[in-house]
Amino acid sequence: MSSSATEIRHNVRPIRQPRRQRAGIGAGKRPEVLYEIYALARNVPPLLAAMVGWTQVHWRGVATISGLESRSFTVRHIIVLLFMMSIWIRCFKREGIDQQSTPFLLFVSSQAKAVFMGTAGCTLLLWAARLMSDTGKHMSISLFAFRCATGGLLCVLLAAVLYEIVNRLAAPKLYLIVGSRRRAIEGYKQLLGYGGRRGSVLGFIDDDDSHSQYLPGDYLGSKDRLEELLMRNPIDMVYLALPLRSQYATVQEVIWTCERMGVEYSLPVDIFESNLDRFWRPSMQNAKAFVCRMVLEDYRMLLKRMLDVSLAIILLCALTPLMAAIALAIKLTSPGPVLFKQERFGRNRHRFRMYKFRSMVHNAEELFALIEHQNEISGPIFKMRRDPRVTRIGYILRKLSLDELPQLFNVLKGDMSLVGPRPMSLRDVSLLSEAWLMRRFSVTPGMTGLWQVSGRSNTNFDTWITLDLQYIDKWSLALDFKILLRTIPRVISGTGAA
């Protein structure tokens, strides 16, 4: 690593966003995109049922849409609708169960109960409004109740199925618990089922080892090993189970370590004892803890994923003839497989297999030791402009970045995104010696990024890391579009390609 790496360590810091925009303690807002969509969709049935009933009645008496528009809502209509929405939402809040930490059948039954309670409440309100005035007197109450209940149940079942599919397809989670007392053991049991995902706990760390023999998992040592464990293992989240009042300094040190390395951590909400067990939808409701994420996960992440999948499918369909021609050219010009497969580190340092068109001789990795000393770039990464292992067709593919087209399949699988930091190889990551460099793994890696549109191989390692962290701190959909647009002329001109 170059000598300027230390300077970057002090100059590159996470941007301090306004409190209302940061994911933190007491945010009171779930970052899971699926839950936000479901919470929005399940509140629509009573409103739609009332609107359909009102429209159906009034449509019969008008000949044009303009005639329907002339029959506007009265204040009474609006008041009744507002009370309906209030009753409906209150019924779901009363259940207080979210699917992130609830078994499938229990979630469905709980939400279905809320649907029927909400339907009954809204129907009684509509019936009372009809008795007291002419509000909705021409609307069929039975049809309203049927539409309301049917719409609500469909939302519940669709949400349950989608959650189940996503949780089964998601990669297993790996957790690390800081603490060894009662709260740590309770957290261990709850973390194994958190989010409905297959998960495991790496172990426990605590300066006090007097309770290590009672732990349900491995005792890994004192908190001094935290940084080492985070560097060597793909930890998804650190669960803090220490008594805050007596170990405030220790908790603060753990938090700083997690933030420096870009690892999510959770904080308990039951710091002080209370007889009331009421929590405003924290990220881990059953575990009674808030999750502090390194990057916000809201609707923009869903839009980013939709953009990735859509563009990947379009590009694969459009470039199929070109990719077939490239595969044939590789097969005819050099022995070996068409695709080069290599394990890389993705988000939270989880390994995945990345695909590329083979641009080197088939035994390139075996020959690496012979030329490693000729590295032309500082730091742990290897770059060599005239690498003797590159084939003739491989040189052209690299110049035009065509060797990276198979990574579109990685995008479809979710291992990569179109835009993000480049995924690093196992060899390069093993040479990283400073913990703060791990923060680049807090987001999904991409096919292109700030590094690629800012010089690619013409930039050194320090600049590469600086650009990666800058992308993480300033990420937005607009920035992704900007990088994608800047990538096109870079690829066509071959600027900075190795």
Residue 188: give its domain's CATH number: 3.40.50.720
Residues 42 and 159 in one domain: yes
Inside any domain, residue 43:
yes
Residues 309 and 453 in one domain: yes
Inside any domain, residue 56:
yes
Closest CA to 124 of 156, 79, 80: 80
pLDDT over 80 (residue 186) = yes
Inside any domain, residue 144:
yes
Inside any domain, residue 23:
no
In contact, 461 and 2? CB cutoff 8 Å = yes
Residues 387 and 456 in one domain: yes
CB within 8 Å of 173: residues ≥ 6 apart: 194, 195, 197, 198, 199, 200, 236, 237
Residue at which a domain ends, from 238, 259, 292: 292
Inside any domain, residue 426:
yes
Inside any domain, residue 229:
yes
Inside any domain, residue 6:
no
Q: Rounded to whole angstroms, how far apart are CA atoms 204 and 212?
A: 8
Query: In this predicted structure, what is the pLDDT of residue 339?
Result: 93
Q: Please state which of the ranges 11-20, 140-149, 345-354 shows the lowest mean pLDDT.
A: 11-20
Q: Where are the beta strands (DSSP E) in 123-271?
A: 173-178, 199-205, 237-240, 264-268
Who wins on pLDDT, 368 or 359?
Answer: 359
pLDDT over 50 (residue 149) = yes
Q: Domain limits at 394?
A: 299-493
Residue at which a domain ends, from 270, 292, 314: 292
Q: Please state which of the ranges 109-118, 123-132, 153-162, 164-173 shows the lowest mean pLDDT.
A: 164-173
Query: In this predicted structure, what is the pLDDT of residue 327?
Result: 94
Pairing of strands 199-205, 173-178: parallel
Query: In this predicted structure, what is the pLDDT of residue 81?
Result: 84
Residues 175 and 264 in one domain: yes
Q: Rounded to whole angstroms, how far apart are CA atoms 461 and 441?
A: 16
Query: In this predicted structure, what is the pLDDT of residue 416?
Result: 93
Q: Rounded to whole angstroms, how far apart are CA atoms 341 and 19?
A: 43
Residues 249 and 383 in one domain: no
Q: Rounded to whole angstroms, how far apart are CA atoms 144 and 123?
A: 7
Written as one letter, the residue type at 15 is I
Query: In this predicted structure, what is the pLDDT of residue 238?
Result: 92
Burial of 335 (0-12, 13-18, 19+ CB in 10 A): exposed
Q: What is the 3-state secondary structure (H, E, C) of 310-370?
A: HHHHHHHHHHHHHHHHHHHHHHHHCCCCCEEEEEEECHHHCEEEEEEECCECCCHHHHHHH
Query: In this predicted structure, what is the pLDDT of residue 173?
Result: 82
**Domain count of the fold of the chain:** 3
Token pair 């990464």 is found at 381
Secondary structure of residue 177 in the 3-state scheme: strand
Residues 176 and 229 in one domain: yes
Confidence of residue 103 (pLDDT cuts 50, 70, 90): low
**Average pLDDT score over residue span 83-106:** 73
Confidence of residue 405 (pLDDT cuts 50, 70, 90): very high
Burial of 1 (0-12, 13-18, 19+ CB in 10 A): middle
**Average pLDDT of the residues of the chain:** 77
Per this entry, what is the length of the chain? 498
Q: Rounded to whole angstroms, how far apart are CA atoms 3 and 16?
A: 27
Tokens describing residue 236: 């998804």
Residues 311 and 280 in one domain: no
**Average pLDDT score over residue span 25-29:** 28
Residues 454 and 387 in one domain: yes
Pairing of strands 237-240, 264-268: parallel
Give the range with max mean pLDDT: 59-73, 372-386, 388-402.
388-402
Who wins on pLDDT, 296 or 9?
Answer: 296
CB within 8 Å of 161: residues ≥ 6 apart: none
**Average pLDDT score over residue span 16-29:** 32
Who wins on pLDDT, 429 or 25?
Answer: 429
Residues 280 and 263 in one domain: yes
Query: In this predicted structure, what is the pLDDT of residue 185?
Result: 87
Residue at which a domain ends, from 138, 168, 198: 168
Query: In this predicted structure, what is the pLDDT of residue 5?
Result: 44
**Average pLDDT score over residue span 296-316:** 85
Inside any domain, residue 142:
yes
Residues 329 and 354 in one domain: yes
Confidence of residue 203 (pLDDT cuts 50, 70, 90): very high
Could you tell me the end-to-end alpha-carbon distance of the chain, in angstroms, rounded to an integer?
Answer: 20
**Average pLDDT score over residue span 330-349:** 90
pLDDT over 80 (residue 284) = no
Q: Rounded to whole angstroms, how far apart are CA atoms 143 and 147?
A: 6
Confidence of residue 67 (pLDDT cuts 50, 70, 90): very low
pLDDT over 60 (residue 281) = no
Residues 233 and 244 in one domain: yes
Residues 333 and 270 in one domain: no
Mind listing the pLDDT tens digit for each residue in 409-426? 999 988 999 999 989 888
Query: In this predicted structure, what is the pLDDT of residue 21?
Result: 34
